[in-house]
């Protein structure tokens, strides 16, 4: 039987800052980031690995933090959505593109989309953006606007592509 009361030490770098805590061995990385470290930009939706809302970067790879234990991140370099605005004010180019393309409404999914995008080299994924983002779910904005934001940020020009900012405010409900 698993001893759920067991604890272990975790040393992890998050957004360039070192953190050290003693945590239950069953604590999810998502809960560690939000509830222990206090970085609440990472959202938790399904907690089953389906929605992608909890996506962070671990050692450069996009990871669903609800499927990873905090103790598994011991010694790792973790980046969350808060790292995109290093000085806490200026938006990253992709965040700016989401803003300009009306690519969010409630914003619950947005951190996950942004971290999935942050984890890749655009040159490798420019032609496969639908595939790249197929693991991130959005309940309200509509994927056309999100795709428009990616195209804007990555400078993709596609026949028939329409930027949501240029379609007279028809920015909602097409997902």
Residues binding ligand FES (CB under 6 A):
44-47, 49-54, 64, 66, 104-109, 138-141
| Smallest gap from residue 162 Cβ to ligand FES (A) | 19
Q: Give the span between the Cα atoms of 82 and 168, in whole angstroms.
A: 31
Contact present, 28 and 68 (Cβ < 8 Å): yes
Q: How far, CA to CA in Å, does 167 sit from each of 27, 82, 121, 170, 172?
A: 45, 31, 29, 6, 11
| Smallest gap from residue 123 Cβ to ligand FES (A) | 27
Judged by beta carbon, residue 7 or residue 92, the one nearer ligand FES is 92
Judged by beta carbon, residue 138 or residue 164, the one nearer ligand FES is 138
Judged by beta carbon, residue 51 or residue 69, the one nearer ligand FES is 51
Residues in the chain: 175
Judged by beta carbon, residue 9 or residue 134, the one nearer ligand FES is 134
| Smallest gap from residue 171 Cβ to ligand FES (A) | 11
Contact present, 25 and 6 (Cβ < 8 Å): yes
Q: At what angle do helices 93-100 and 143-154 cross, to 10 degrees?
A: 130
Terminal Cα-to-Cα distance of the chain (whole angstroms): 44
Helix or strand or coil: residue 7? strand
| Smallest gap from residue 159 Cβ to ligand FES (A) | 27
Judged by beta carbon, residue 45 or residue 122, the one nearer ligand FES is 45
| Smallest gap from residue 154 Cβ to ligand FES (A) | 20
The contacts of residue 129 (CB under 8 Å, 6+ apart) are 147, 150, 151, 154, 156
């Amino acid at each position: 039987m698993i001893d759920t009361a067991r604890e272990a030490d975790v040393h992890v770098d998050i957004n360039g800052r070192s953190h050290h805590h003693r945590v239950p061995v069953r604590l999810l990385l998502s809960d560690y980031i939000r509830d222990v470290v206090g970085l609440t930009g990472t959202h938790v939706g399904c907690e089953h690995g389906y929605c992608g809302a909890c996506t962070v970067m671990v050692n450069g790879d996009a990871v669903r933090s609800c499927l990873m234990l905090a103790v598994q991140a011991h010694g790792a370099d973790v980046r969350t959505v808060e790292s995109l605005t290093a000085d806490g004010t200026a938006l990253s180019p992709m965040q700016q593109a989401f803003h300009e393309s009306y690519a969010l409404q409630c914003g619950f999914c947005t951190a996950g989309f942004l971290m999935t995008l942050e984890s890749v080299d655009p040159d490798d994924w420019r032609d496969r953006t639908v595939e790249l983002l197929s693991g991130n779910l959005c309940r309200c904005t509509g994927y056309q606007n999100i795709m428009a934001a990616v195209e804007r940020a990555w400078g993709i020009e596609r026949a028939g592509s329409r930027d949501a900012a240029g379609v007279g405010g028809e920015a909602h409900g097409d997902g």
